[in-house]
Structures are given as C-alpha cells and as structure tokens.
C-alpha cells in the first residue's frame, strides 16, 4: 500500500506542478482519490489505496499518507517547499484505471486551493467548518456510515 501511495503522491506533484501549494492541498487530493466517486460526484466508502482518513485540525487527514509523504522527503524525491516540487525526475508506475481516477480528480479539483478543498471535503461529508471540532478524531468511514 505504501509504495502505491508514494507513487500517487509523486504522480500528483508531477502532474500539478506548482498548483500543489502545500501539504494541505496534497492531503485533500489524496482523500478525494481515496473516497470520491467520479460518476455520482459523492464521497463514498471505497478505499482506492487503503489509506485511512479522519477529521483533524485542517479537515480530512491520514497518517498513512503523511508517513508516505515524509518518506518521499527523506528519499529526496520531493522538496517540502511552497509549492511542493520534485527534487529529481521520477518515473511513476500506476495502473491505467488508477491514473484515470487521479486524472479525473485533478480535472475536478486541481485548481482549488488547499483551504477551499478543506471546506469542500468537509461539506461533502456533511460537516460545516464551524462544526469540525465536534468531529475531531472521528474516522471518515464512521461518518459515512451514519
């Protein structure tokens, strides 16, 4: 799971370039790849990569994704800068279907800022930003099953 997650992160940074202004936007895009259904345009309980998300300080968050991201920094593949950049030319290997999903998410949400994605992903989960604290630490799967 971790290698696939790392490849998706690299693919996103390579594809979006300077449009990924930081970790927040990357995290929200990874959430959408994990849970957004491009046909119904809704958040669903699918797990494209197997990363688990919950509500945290800035909306949806995953330690699985963050650990993969930090590993890429240690491997000197990504620079933790504003905006995020690749430190070296990397080749990503993803299944065609996964690339299609990622490209669809990028087309739908790639121009959003990190903050806009924070608000939008919470809204799609039925959470208004001022209510976020009530859901702090709650797993997305549990929110979706209510």
Q: Is the pTM of this model over 0.85?
A: yes
Report pLDDT digits (tens) over 113-136. Answer: 999 999 999 999 999 988 999 999
| Residues pairing with 78 in the sheet | 86
DSSP secondary structure letter of residue 76: T
pLDDT attached to residue 32:
98
Number of separate helices (H) and strands (E) present in the chain: 6, 6
More confident residue, 80 or 29: 29
User: Where along the chain do its domains lie?
Assistant: 2-144
Report pLDDT digits (tens) over 40-55. Answer: 999 998 888 999 999 9
Are 137 and 54 in contact, with CB atoms under 8 Å apart?
A: yes
């Amino acid at each position: 799971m971790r290698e696939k997650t790392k490849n998706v992160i690299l693919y996103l940074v390579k594809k979006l370039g300077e449009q990924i202004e930081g970790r927040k936007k990357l995290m929200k895009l990874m959430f959408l790849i994990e849970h957004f259904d491009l046909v119904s345009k809704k958040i669903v309980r699918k797990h494209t990569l197997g990363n688990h998300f919950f509500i945290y300080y800035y909306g949806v968050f995953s330690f699985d994704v963050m650990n993969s991201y930090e590993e890429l920094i240690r491997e000197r593949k990504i620079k933790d800068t504003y905006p995020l950049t690749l430190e070296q030319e990397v080749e990503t290997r993803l299944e065609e279907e996964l690339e299609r999903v990622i490209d669809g998410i990028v087309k739908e949400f790639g121009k959003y800022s990190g903050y806009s994605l924070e608000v939008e992903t919470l809204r799609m989960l039925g959470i208004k930003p001022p209510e976020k604290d009530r859901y702090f630490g709650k797993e997305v799967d549990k929110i979706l099953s209510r």
